[in-house]
Amino acid sequence: MNTRSHVTLLVGGVGGAKLAVGLASILPPEALTIIVNTGDDLDHLGLHVSPDMDTVMYTLSGLANPTTGWGITGDTRRALEMITRYGGPGWFGLGDSDLGTNIFRTALLREGKRLTDVARQMSSALGIRHTILPMSDDSVRTVLDTDQGRLAFQEYFVRERWQPQVHAVHFEGAAEAQPSAEVLQAIDEASLIVFGPSNPVLSIDPILALPGLRERIRASSAPCVAVSPIIGGQAVKGPAAKLMAELGIDVSPVGVATHYIDLLYGIILDDVDMHLCDVVSRMNLHCIARRTLMDSLVDKIALSEHLLKWAEEVFS
């Protein structure tokens, strides 16, 4: 099998979006489908906000703020300032252009459109030719049991700056939600399934929590590989390392591989963790060490090329 013929990438936000850009720079539109976590979605001020979807969409369209990785370059916050002036909540940082996205998405959803179709329409309008799929058209909401009580995802992540200690993570609605037909097809038709360098617990697990999805990945003829989001015991960005430690997961590519062990054929870890390839190999997984930090577009494309070439060599 040509592992390059249809890559299906599962991601959360910033880290996964970077790999998506690299892969999209190499693969034609029909050869890449990006499945995005929507467990981070929230209803905020009556708007349906999809932070991970937008991060991927903004990154692929070149709109993303390169400093933060999320939001739109040069965006302003006039609307939010006005809302706080009225006494409304200001903790969730929506820029003005970003609000345009969320207002329009919400309006389309209210017309009865599926999130999947809305995502297609909006990403096409931004010139994106590769397919970005929300993991489901149904509501799944990540909530966390913490030392400050139960928190909705964005309360934990944005409002509390992921400082509370997490005891457990739940995906509300996941058991009743369905992966969309498009998501199932992207897995069935995949030649390679990739878990992006995203938070395993908060970004990939919500996708895997959808009924039947793990089984579908296992049943797929495509090998499934992961790019470790942990480099030298640390997360590139966000709470992955802190959270994994709190949940008793080894904060290393080994911990990541173990987390996905029922699904995984191999893992790419960073050069600094090369010594861990021995451990991973003893878990009966393929392993390769490469530079996984993706600062520049060159980095993103290089890692994507390494990933595709390695998969081709090992799994074809």
Give residues in contact with its own copies (CB under 8 A). 45-47, 72, 75-76, 78-83, 85-88, 95-101, 103-104, 106-107, 110, 121-122, 125-126
Distance CA 184, CA 125 (A): 25
The minimum distance between CB 70 and its own copies, in angstroms, equals 15
Distance CA 3, CA 310 (A): 10
The minimum distance between CB 107 and its own copies, in angstroms, equals 5
Q: Which is nearer to its own copies, 116 or 146 (CB)?
A: 116
Q: For 143, left (φ over 0), alpha (ψ -120 to 50), or beta?
A: beta
Q: Are 70 and 54 in contact (CB under 8 A)?
A: yes
The minimum distance between CB 121 and its own copies, in angstroms, equals 7
H helices within the chain, ranges in order? 14-26, 51-61, 78-85, 96-110, 115-125, 153-154, 181-188, 205-208, 213-219, 240-246, 253-259, 277-282, 297-315
The minimum distance between CB 222 and its own copies, in angstroms, equals 33
Q: Which is nearer to its own copies, 46 or 248 (CB)?
A: 46
Q: Which is nearer to its own copies, 54 or 246 (CB)?
A: 54
The minimum distance between CB 102 and its own copies, in angstroms, equals 9
- Nearest Cα to 307, choosing from 14, 12, 13, 25? 25
Pairing state between β 192-195 and 224-227? parallel
The minimum distance between CB 150 and its own copies, in angstroms, equals 22
The minimum distance between CB 230 and its own copies, in angstroms, equals 35
Q: Which is nearer to its own copies, 131 or 220 (CB)?
A: 131
φ, ψ for residue 151, nearest 5 deg: -125, 140
Q: Which is nearer to its own copies, 123 or 199 (CB)?
A: 123
- Nearest Cα to 209, choosing from 181, 165, 261, 172? 172
Q: What angle do CA 99, 101, 102 make, to 5 degrees?
A: 65
Q: Which is nearer to its own copies, 50 or 252 (CB)?
A: 50
Q: Which is nearer to its own copies, 51 or 239 (CB)?
A: 51
CA dist list (Å): 137 to 34, 50, 70, 114: 15, 12, 22, 6
Q: Are 8 and 186 in contact (CB under 8 A)?
A: yes
